[in-house]
Structure formats: C-alpha cells, structure tokens
C-alpha cells in the first residue's frame, strides 16, 4: 500500500455508483474516497445509509493509518522497523490469518515477501528489475513461518524480515464494511474497493447484485468484462497482473510476486476472482481469505488453483466455501461449479467459457 495521494470524500446520489442499474426508484447514499492506493466507493440503502457509508469511509482511513507500511507511523511500519512490537487487534488478526493462508497455499501467499516487493519498486513507484544478487540476498528473508503472535498481542518477525499486508488488506476492508453495515442495520448496499466488491443483501428490486469481472486483456476499458457474477451477501475479490505493473525492455513486470522465485508470477493466468459469502458478524474474515487466496492462486496457476478449490469443496463442514473465476492467458474463462448458474459470460469478449467441477 502506498501513501494517500488524493483524498476525496463526498456524499452524492450517484445512481448505482457506476454499478449496473439497480432497477428501482430508490437511490443509494454513496461515498467515494481514495485509501490504500485504491478508489473506494461505498453505497448503502435505508434510513441509516448516509451515516453508514461515512463511517465506512472513516474506517478505511483508520485502517490505512494502521496497515500501510509506507506511512512511517503506522503500526506495520513500526513493526517492520523494530522487528517486534505490541500491535492493535487488526495487525494481530491479519498476521495470524496470514500464517494460516500461507500454510493453506503452500507458501504462495506470504506477507514476508515485503523486501522483495520493495526491491522491484512497487512500494515507491521507482520501478526496477532487481539483480540476481539482490534477489539471492532477499529471498531467504521470505519465510512467513518465522512470524509469531503471542497472547499479549506482540507480533515478532524473524531477523531482518518485514511484512506487507497489501495482498490481504482490501479483502479485510470488505469484512469490516460488512460488519459495519450489519451493525447499522443496512439491509442492502455495495462496496467497491478497486477490483474487490462486497455485495450486501440484494438490489432494491430484490434481485442479486451484478458484479462485473474486469477483462484483464482490456484493463483500461471500464466496460470490458470477462463476465458478470450475480451475488448477494457475498464478496468477490480479484487479483490480476494488469492491476499494477511496469515495463522494461519490452517485458511487463507486475506486482504479484512468486515467493519461490522473487519474480512476478507467470502461471498462465491473467486474473483470479475468489467469491465467498460475506460475514457481517465480524467472526469470519471471508473477505481477507478471498484476497489472500486470489493472490496465491494467481501464483499457483490453473491446475493447482482448481485442485485447491476441489480440496476445499470436499470438506462439507467447511464454512469458508468459495468459488473461482480464472481468466487464462490462452483466452479461456474457467468458472467453478458452485458459481456457474450465477455467472453470465460476456458476449463478444472472445473468451471460451468452461465450467470446472
């Protein structure tokens, strides 16, 4: 995450806030701001909607002040500077959850990838391809198994390590929004945090929200979708190589780093969307989970991603069930079975659509 460069907070009555039309006369209250280096739009319906969207925006700013590793006084920046620090509940919870996601993904998701992300310049926008020698020096620092959270709330990193919560923070932000909407009694609304969407309740006409999955081949065209998913009380979190990248000598380098190589992942996927139920009770971090998994599965590639999905599907007691939409470099969109009847292909997109089971 990078420092806030621009801050806009306004309440307006933008119908649907850029989303497909809600299909009813009722208008949402909306707030838009830039936080965590992302344009965020919150929309909500109902009596307490105005209050709820403002609170959500304030919560995002609070999260950024805690979680950003480029704001010198944030909790994460302090932890990275000193290696062991008493932190607030958010950092503790995300550090613990990240350990779990690291184990679940065989190390593909690893918040201790921070020094490597920095070496590529993604934290400062001074992009560069690091030398092999530099990567060889930094790669041993990438080992999330060294991160400890003790009962007193102290988070301790391994020697020389630092953490980057950029791969999980926006998903967590959608969890916080769901909890906030729930406690404000908001029955329907939507939050768009970059490519990450919370679809809360239904649209005012009672139909599911229509969430577009951006076409990774046409990232600058706001209306180019690889498909639309129909969702209620769900989160849809996308990771893609098109979201943040630079080019050098004709090669494109993006911001999702494979911890096993120190290089941007090249797995044959151009985007991964993970969809799960949203939890407004504050107990489950399904948004954070989807965010971590979208980053990890992008690195793991199609076959391993589908195996990962099947393994989780097989566990019938599993409360964190999720589904996937994978977009591949060779022009396919693969939708897992649980989502297939809620997925609408985009006509004329040129993609071939497949269902995985």
- Residue 161 vs 294, nearer CB to Mg ion: 294
> Any bridge partners for residue 264, and if so which?
257
CB of 259 to Mg ion, least distance (A): 14
Span near Mg ion by CB under 5 A; candidates 64-72, 134-142, 172-180, 290-298: 290-298
Q: Are 227 and 348 in contact (CB under 8 A)?
A: no
**Residue pointed to by tokens 């004329």:** 348
Span near ligand ADP by CB under 6 A; candidates 25-33, 291-299, 325-333, 339-347: 291-299
Rounded to the nearest 5°, which phi and psi values hold at 231?
-135, 145
Task: Characterise 172 by phi-psi region: left (phi > 0), alpha (psi -120 to 50), beta (else).
Answer: alpha
Could you give the CA distance from residue 235 to residue 248 in angstroms, rounded to a whole number?
A: 35
x/- binding map, residues 292-331, to ligand ADP, per CB under 6 A? Answer: --xx---x--------------------------------
Sorted by sequence, the CB contacts under 8 Å of residue 212 that are 6+ apart come out as 20, 225, 227, 228
Question: What angle, rounded to 10 degrees, do the helices at 49-67 and 75-82 form?
Answer: 10
**Residue pointed to by tokens 């009596």:** 47
x/- binding map, residues 1-40, to ligand ADP, per CB under 6 A? Answer: ----------------------------------------
- Residue 46 vs 167, nearer CB to Mg ion: 167
* Dihedral, 60, 44, 171, 345 alpha carbons, nearest 10: -140
Q: Are 53 and 18 in contact (CB under 8 A)?
A: no
Q: Which of 46, 167, 216, 262 binds ligand ADP (CB under 6 A)?
A: 167
Q: Does 170 bind ligand ADP (CB under 6 A)?
A: yes
Please list every residue from 140 through 169 that binds Mg ion, using CB under 5 A: 167
Please list every residue from 165 through 194 that binds Mg ion, using CB under 5 A: 167
x/- binding map, residues 49-88, to ligand ADP, per CB under 6 A? Answer: ----------------------------------------
Q: Does 211 bind ligand ADP (CB under 6 A)?
A: no
Q: Among all residues, whose Cβ is closest to ligand ADP?
A: 166
Q: Give the pairing type, strands 352-356 and 332-336.
A: parallel
Q: Does 175 bind ligand ADP (CB under 6 A)?
A: no
Q: Which of 29, 75, 192, 291 binds Mg ion (CB under 5 A)?
A: 291
The CA distances from residue 212 to 174, 209, 231, 342, in Å, are: 17, 10, 10, 12
Span near ligand ADP by CB under 6 A; candidates 111-119, 177-185, 320-328, 336-344: 111-119
Q: Shortest CA distance to 66 belongs to which of 94, 42, 38?
A: 94
Q: Does 243 bind ligand ADP (CB under 6 A)?
A: yes
Q: Which of 115, 227, 259, 301 binds ligand ADP (CB under 6 A)?
A: 259
In sequence order, what E strands does 74-203 have?
A: 84-86, 148-149, 154-156, 189-193, 196-200
Which residues contact Mg ion by CB under 5 A? Answer: 167, 239, 291, 294-295
């Amino acid at each position: 995450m990078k420092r806030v460069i621009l801050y806009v907070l306004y309440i307006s009555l933008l119908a649907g806030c850029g989303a497909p039309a809600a299909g009813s006369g009722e208008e949402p209250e909306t707030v838009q701001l830039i936080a965590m280096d992302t344009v965020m739009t919150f929309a909500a319906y109902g009596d307490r909607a105005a209050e709820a969207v403002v609170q959500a925006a304030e919560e995002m700013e609070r999260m950024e002040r805690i979680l950003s590793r480029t704001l010198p006084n944030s909790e994460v920046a302090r932890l990275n500077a000193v290696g062991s620090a008493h932190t607030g509940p958010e950092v503790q919870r995300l550090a613990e959850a990240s350990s779990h996601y690291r184990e679940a993904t065989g190390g593909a998701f690893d918040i201790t990838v921070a020094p490597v992300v920095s070496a590529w310049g993604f934290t400062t926008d001074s992009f560069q391809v690091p030398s092999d020698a530099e990567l060889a020096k930094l790669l041993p620092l990438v080992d999330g198994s060294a991160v400890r959270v003790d009962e007193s709330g102290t988070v301790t990193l391994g020697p020389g390590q630092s953490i980057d919560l950029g791969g999980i923070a926006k998903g967590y932000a959608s969890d916080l929004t769901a909890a906030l909407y729930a406690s404000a009694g908001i029955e329907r609304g939507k939050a768009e945090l970059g490519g990450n969407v919370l679809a809360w309740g239904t649209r005012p006409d009672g139909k599911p929200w229509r969430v577009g999955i951006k076409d990774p081949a046409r990232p600058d065209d706001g209306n180019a979708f690889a498909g639309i998913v129909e969702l209620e009380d769900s989160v849809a979190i996308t990771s893609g190589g098109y979201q943040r990248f630079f080019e050098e000598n004709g090669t494109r380098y993006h911001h999702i780093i494979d911890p096993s190589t120190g290089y941007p992942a090249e797995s044959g996927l151009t985007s991964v969307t993970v969809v799960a139920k949203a939890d407004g009770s504050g107990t489950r971090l399904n948004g954070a989970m989807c965010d971590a998994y979208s980053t990890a599965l992008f690195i793991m590639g199609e076959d391993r991603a589908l195996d990962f999905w099947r393994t989780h599907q097989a566990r019938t007691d599993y409360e964190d069930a999720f589904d996937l939409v994978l977009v591949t470099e060779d022009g396919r969109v693969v939708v897992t079975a649980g989502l297939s009847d809620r997925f609408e292909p985009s006509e004329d997109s040129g993609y071939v659509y497949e269902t995985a089971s």
